[in-house]
A and B are shown apart, each in its own frame.
Chain A
Amino acid sequence: MSAVQSSLYLGFVLSLLAYLFGAWLKKKFGWAILNPLLISVILVIVILKIFHIDYETYNNSGKYISYLLTPSTVCLAIPLYKQLELLMKNAVAVIASIIAGVIASAGSIFVLCTVFGLSHQEYVTFLPKSITTAIGMGVSEQAGGVVTLTVVCIIITGIFGNIVADAVFAIARIKHPVARGLALGTSAHAIGTAKALELGEVEGAMSSLAIAVAGLLTVIIVPMISGLI
């Protein structure tokens, strides 16, 4: 077992294989719930539990995967650049809808927290849940939230958004690629953007833009409304 414990590549290979398996399942059955990201996360957790490998060991190599997240975020500029003309043409719609989304996020979290009778600390922990982790952690900390729980919420939100997007778009009849991209980026940050990129280049570009704009708007809006609960 010590060889497994000290392996630097185990977590990496495990993650890649789990994702490939998830993608294969999705292709074979085509159900939305068979989201490759969700499948691979569950699969990795189950395997770690079965073989009594702790998270730290897994993350010894997992952290090199996470390491690529920042350059990968930088590359979101590529679809954005390719769709710049479309973005400029729809600038008003883009800005207005992201603002609407950020307000809807804060408003719905406020209402739900009131319904559940949650404390101020829990309320501000949830507030940055729809924005990218790097910004959300700072927002939560500033407002006095529990940062680790904020990260949990951000990841759950992202994966959930990634999974339900197809169903939500079908039920709410959201068809326009620009609208789909903005909706994914504003509601489910970078994990939603991964889904948007699968839908198409326009969706990916709009979603990338929404991550940055929604993140920065949330930084501004949270201090204004954090005192409500």
Chain B
Amino acid sequence: MKYVKESAILFGITLVGELMNLLLPLPVPAGVYGLLLLLVLLCSGILKLDQVEATGNFLLEIMPILFIPAAVGLMESVDAMRAILVPMLVVCTVSTIIVMITTGKVTELILAFGEKEVREYDEHHKKDKNNSNRSTGTNKNKGGR
């Protein structure tokens, strides 16, 4: 019954998200409402991770496949695209690379700045093991790999 229960919970949350999307006058899609709802339920302890994790991980694993039908649908839009194909492709590719680099670099700059502050703070207070503090910042982030 594990998967039945998990599916009931996850699809139930999806349903609530869908209803919120239909009833509330905000431009928030059903999936984002559901995401926030599931996050709140997990954080508040109302739901435990192991009550949704098996089915949840299945849905996350198949996620790329779920985009195939929509992407195959591009073959239907060939005529609409033809007129502005070149500018469209240039905008989509160039702008995506710019956004990716900007976001990533700004994150790294701020993180590096934060770590530097921690380091200076440690040095200022003459903590004897500032080496260990310095490395926690970078090591912890490799945890998820």
Q: What residues make up the interface of A, taking CB atoms closer than 8 Å to B?
A: 11, 15-16, 18-19, 36-37, 40-41, 44-45, 48-49, 55, 58-59, 62-63, 65-66, 68-84, 86, 90, 92-94, 96-98, 100-101, 104-105, 108-109, 112-113, 116, 118, 122, 126, 129-130, 132-135, 138-139, 142, 146, 148-149, 151-153, 155-162, 164-165, 168-169, 172, 174-180, 182-184, 186-188, 190-191, 193-194, 197, 200-205, 208, 210-212, 215-216, 219
What are the residues of chain B within 8 A of A37 when measuring CB–CB? 64, 67-68, 71
Report the separation of the CA atoms of residues A92 and B109 in the bound assembly, to the nearest whole angstrom. 12
A104 and B96 in contact, given A159-B71, A202-B144 (Cβ under 8 angstroms) = no
Task: Identify whether the interface residues of A are mostly helix, strand, loop, or mixed.
Answer: helix
Task: Identify whether the interface residues of B are mostly helix, strand, loop, or mixed.
Answer: helix
Query: Among A74, A83, A100, A215, which residue has its beta carbon within 8 angstroms of that of B34?
Result: A74
Beta-carbon contact of A70 and B17 below 8 Å: yes
What are the residues of chain B within 8 A of A11 when measuring CB–CB? 69
A184 and B100 in contact, given A70-B34, A74-B13 (Cβ under 8 angstroms) = yes
Query: Among B39, B92, B97, which residue has its beta carbon within 8 angstroms of that of A156?
Result: B92
Report the separation of the CA atoms of residues A84 and B43 in the bound assembly, to the nearest whole angstrom. 9
Beta-carbon contact of A135 and B28 below 8 Å: yes
